[in-house]
Structure 1
Amino acid sequence: MRDDNDPGTLDLITGGLILGYARVSTDDQDLTQQRDQLHLAGCNKLFAEKVSGARRVRPELDRMLDHLRPGDVVTVTRLDRLARSTRDLLDISERIRGCGAGLRSLAEPWADTTSPAGRMVMTVFAGIAEFERSLILERTRTGREAAKARGVKFGPRPTLTKAQVEHARRLVDQDGFTVKAAAELLGVHRSTLYRALDKAMGCA
């Protein structure tokens, strides 16, 4: 819950709170630099976490999005701290917009959705993402045929074999597939593949 008695820094354009989000991927990394940059940008309230951007669940990000009110501005040092892909960025940006809030990146000033130019750029990105999706669908069909030739089995089974998990990791790490597209290729739910990949990383 936000404390309206301690509003923090207000954005001069929107009149809302300037909220910062910081993220690093591992416990060995430090959030200090991001925190300092966000404080200098006027963020008195920060949401920070140490979690891989590939993980579907990011508690502090969800908490920040639930905290948003009209006029607030979400600020990040770089867009890759917020999103793991163009599609992910657009989805998060849409959630922010749906709250009547804006998005601002310190390293990418063109991504400021509180300005008309920034909103136009995000619209262009949405078109690019749709184009990327069409390419992924085509690569998915090609990948399925190649996987079948290598003996990979497909089907709606709730579990994945080691070979399927390794194949999925190649698709994501080397071939540019999203986890969702790789899951569709293997015939499982996205969350099933996330769990399998996380488990494989833990055993590595």
Structure 2
Amino acid sequence: MVQRAALYCRVSTADQSCERQERDLLAFAERAGYDVVAVFKETASGSKDDRVERGKILTLVRARQIGVVLVTELTRWGRSTTDLLSTLQELEACGVSVIAQTGLQFDLRSPQGKLFASLMAALAEFERDLLRERIRSGVASAQERGVKFGRQPGVRFKADRYQARMLKLREEGCSYRQIARDLGLSKNTVMEIVHRHR
């Protein structure tokens, strides 16, 4: 039975073109005997997970309208290990595999696919740990240089700028809600500043 396929072509910058990828994938699909039902092309960074055209393929997958996704290489589908693993698992749940033009097939039901998924899961965890470690290291380094994180107590630039006007309006009998609306602040901020100066 001929499998219905979607082609996915992606380039990272606007000065690049998807033409070569599309041409190569169409030739590959013809040689392999796939019925190409749609071609999706987009310009987007591989590190972004929310790509519009790839999202359209996932919609076709969920609707069971295709059986395979063809890409020139796996990095076209996604660069982040976590993203790759989650999308490949979603495809696998719908019985769809990703096939790279190199001939590598990412079908997570096969022994090769299961091994690949395990390796990717380990890499994803390693990536998350590295990121966490870099963040902690960066925060510690910044704190050593005297950088303070989070809201500093007593510093409300916008609210403090309007303080005198706020107190005057309150003395004139304006409600907290009116003052907040006039000054573009929240009612709670107005209440807090008025109560602080009583």
- Paired residue type of 1:82: W
Distance 1:25 1:41 in 2: 22
Residue in structure 1 matched with residue 45 of structure 2 by the alignment: 52
Distance 1:148 1:98 in 2: 46
TM-aligned CA distance change 1:145 to 1:89, over 3 Å: same
Distance 1:102 1:116 in 2: 14
> How far did 1:132 drift?
2.7
Higher-Rg member (1/2): 2
TM-aligned CA distance change 1:113 to 1:101, over 3 Å: same
Residue in structure 2 matched with residue 41 of structure 1 by the alignment: 28
SS at match of 1:154: coil
- Paired residue type of 2:12: S
**Structure 2 residue 2 is matched with structure 1 residue 20:** no
- Paired residue type of 1:123: S
**Equivalent runs, 1:6-17 vs 2, <5 Å:** 10-11=2-3, 17=4
Distance 1:10 1:87 in 2: 31
> How far did 1:90 drift?
1.0
**Structure 2 residue 64 is matched with structure 1 residue 77:** no
Distance 1:108 1:152 in 2: 51
Distance 1:46 1:114 in 2: 25
- Paired residue type of 1:48: K
Structure 1: state its 5+ residue gaps.
Answer: 1-8, 12-16, 157-204
TM-score of the superposed pair, with normalisation by structure 1: 0.60
Distance 1:95 1:142 in 2: 34
Which stretch shifts more, 64-73 or 74-83?
64-73
- Paired residue type of 1:34: Q
Deviations 1:104-152 (A, max 9, x none): 2223616454643123212221122213322332232222101223454
Contact 2:49 2:83 survives alignment (8 Å): no
**Structure 2 residue 159 is matched with structure 1 residue 141:** no
SS at match of 1:41: helix
TM-aligned CA distance change 1:151 to 1:92, over 3 Å: farther
CA RMSD of aligned residues (A): 2.5
Which stretch shifts more, 105-114 or 53-62?
105-114
> How far did 1:98 drift?
2.6
Structure 2: state its 5+ residue gaps.
Answer: 152-198
Distance 2:94 2:67 in 1: 9
Contact 1:76 1:105 survives alignment (8 Å): yes
Report sequence identity in percent: 37
SS at match of 1:47: strand
Contact 2:47 2:80 survives alignment (8 Å): no
- Paired residue type of 2:81: T
SS at match of 1:130: helix
Residue in structure 1 matched with residue 55 of structure 2 by the alignment: 62
Which stretch shifts more, 87-96 or 66-75?
66-75
Count of aligned pairs between the two proteins: 143
